[in-house]
Amino acid sequence: MSELDLYISLFITFFKIGLFGFGGGYAMLSLIQHDVVETHNWISVADFTDIVAISQSTPGPIAFNTATYIGYTATGSIWGSAICTIAVSLPSLIIMITISKFFFMFRDNKYVEMAMQGLKITVLGLIGAAALLLMNKQNFVDYKSYIIFAIAFIATFKFKMDPILMIIAAGIAGYLLY
Amino acid sequence: MASYWQIFISFFKIGSFTLGGGYAMIPLIQQEVVDKKGWLKESEFVEMMAIAQSAPGPIALNTAIFVGYKARGVKGVIFSSLGTILPSFIVILLIAIIFTDFKNNPGVERVFKGIRPAVVALIAAPLYKMGKSAGVSRKTIIFPVIAALLVWQLNLSPIYIIIAAILGGLLYGKITHKF
């Protein structure tokens, strides 16, 4: 693939992610994973999981973070980062400027409301799919991985532990256990 | 009137402190654009949040675009968006440059071996609560389950799921409300 083709393919992929990225952060993960990991093989599942972890502990939305990171690693250039970050932001820019212009038409629109009702429920499935896709052999290397998963799940679900603290604790556990 | 520089600085601040992203930053944005700067009224802010959440793309960016447009039109949007994007762009670019060298260090690999399963737990754990607040019932739970299976097992692109969800919502509304 020529360098221009790579840039075009990155642009189209991240534009699509921005355009169909409904439901925020985690809901976009399966979309990013499908295109970036499965279709284009720009990074491995383990690297993708690392980006999600890094994303949890650095400023900014996961979609931006992934775009900036993959833009750099796929091209080896800052321009790759810039192109991907612009591509993922463009759909929001176009759609939100239009909405801001016609704010009152979108407010209380029953069609928008109905479509959102369908999305709200289905997006949960996409988040579930993201979790299931990441539960593979690269991320779960042995029984210790399942113990870490179970403890992290309970700490988040029952005790609402802060995600950054959780990642730090899991990192320390990994360093000691492996 | 808000200066472009003020808009940029406010959103740069918001962009710098949105660790973990999403809903954690809503109070921070509200404080900055409603209480401190007065670019939006309280009621406008609440309505805007509903729209920023329904539109595709990160909520932080959608909010920045709306506020930038309200304050200074399309030029305001350029400054508010740049302010939101730049902090994460700089941080992640530095990490990408440094991390690629670090990654093969055995100590770093051990740390990430522990982190990876925890990340999966972080993604899965909020599902139950989100399902409750989205109003998922025993009848409707089949939809997210089918969606998850199609993406997970059959490698279907989530784009089709999203399109189907929008059409399904409209169809359901048409049948039940007869508009």
pLDDT at B20: 55
Asked if residue B78 and residue B27 are part of one domain, the reply reads yes
Within a domain: B116: no
Nearest residue of A to residue B117, measured between CA atoms: A149
Asked if residue B65 and residue B21 are part of one domain, the reply reads yes
Within a domain: B38: yes
How many CB atoms sit inside 10 A of residue B163's CB?
Answer: 12
| Mean of per-residue pLDDT scores for chain A | 90
Contact call for A171 and B111, based on CB within 8 A: yes
pLDDT at A58: 82
Ordered per-residue pLDDT tens for chain B, 179 residues: 789 999 999 999 888 876 655 566 777 788 888 888 989 888 888 878 878 877 888 888 998 999 999 889 999 999 999 999 999 999 999 999 988 777 778 898 899 999 999 999 988 988 888 888 888 899 899 999 999 999 999 999 999 999 999 999 999 888 887 55
Asked if residue B85 and residue B53 are part of one domain, the reply reads yes
d(CA B9, CA A87) in angstroms, rounded, equals 23
- The answer to whether B83 and B14 are in contact (CB under 8 A) is yes
Within a domain: B114: no
Note whether A93 contacts B: Cβ–Cβ < 8 A.
Answer: yes
pLDDT at A128: 92
A-facing residues of B in 23-42 (CB < 8 A) are 23
Nearest CB to A73: which of B15, B70, B100? B100
A-facing residues of B in 145-174 (CB < 8 A) are 145-149, 151-152, 155, 157-159, 161-162, 164-170, 172-174
Alpha carbon separation from B165 to A123, A176, B176, B177 (Å, rounded):
8, 44, 16, 18
Note whether B138 contacts A: Cβ–Cβ < 8 A.
Answer: no
Within a domain: B112: no
pLDDT at A114: 85
Report the amino acid identity of residue B24: A
Whether the predicted pLDDT of A77 surpasses 60: yes
Nearest to A151 by CA among B117, B33, B146, B44: B117
pLDDT at B111: 92
Asked if residue B90 and residue B156 are part of one domain, the reply reads no
Q: Which residue has the tokens 């993922």?
A: A88
Nearest CB to A126: which of B21, B158, B174? B158
Asked if residue B89 and residue B149 are part of one domain, the reply reads no
Q: Which residue has the tokens 């200074």?
A: B72
pLDDT at B93: 93
pLDDT at A25: 74
Domain extent at residue B146: 122-177
Within a domain: B33: yes
More confident residue, A13 or B178: A13
Q: What 3-state class would DSSP assign to A59? A: strand
What's the total number of domains in chain B?
2
Contact call for A62 and B21, based on CB within 8 A: yes
Nearest to A34 by CA among B89, B113, B154, B107: B154
Asked if residue B95 and residue B34 are part of one domain, the reply reads yes
Mutate to test the interface with B, among A55, A96, A153, A159 (most CBs of B within 10 A): A96
Within a domain: B90: yes
The pLDDT tens digits for A24-58 are: 778 888 999 999 999 999 999 999 999 888 887 78
Write b or e for each residue in A115-128: b if 16 or more Cβ atoms lie within 10 A of its Cβ, otherwise e: bbbbbbbbbbbbbb
Last residue of a domain, one of B102, B131, B162: B102
When pLDDT is averaged across residues A56-63 and rounded to a whole number, the result is 82
**Which residues, other chains included, contact B12 with Cβ-Cβ below 8 Å and sequence gap of 6+?**
B83, B84, B86, B87
d(CA A134, CA A159) in angstroms, rounded, equals 23
Asked if residue B59 and residue B26 are part of one domain, the reply reads yes
**Percent of chain A's residues with pLDDT above 90:** 57
d(CA B150, CA B156) in angstroms, rounded, equals 6
Mutate to test the interface with B, among A30, A51, A73, A124 (most CBs of B within 10 A): A124
Within a domain: B111: no
d(CA A99, CA A44) in angstroms, rounded, equals 37
Alpha carbon separation from A92 to A21, B91, B106, B173 (Å, rounded):
9, 22, 40, 26
Asked if residue B81 and residue B8 are part of one domain, the reply reads yes
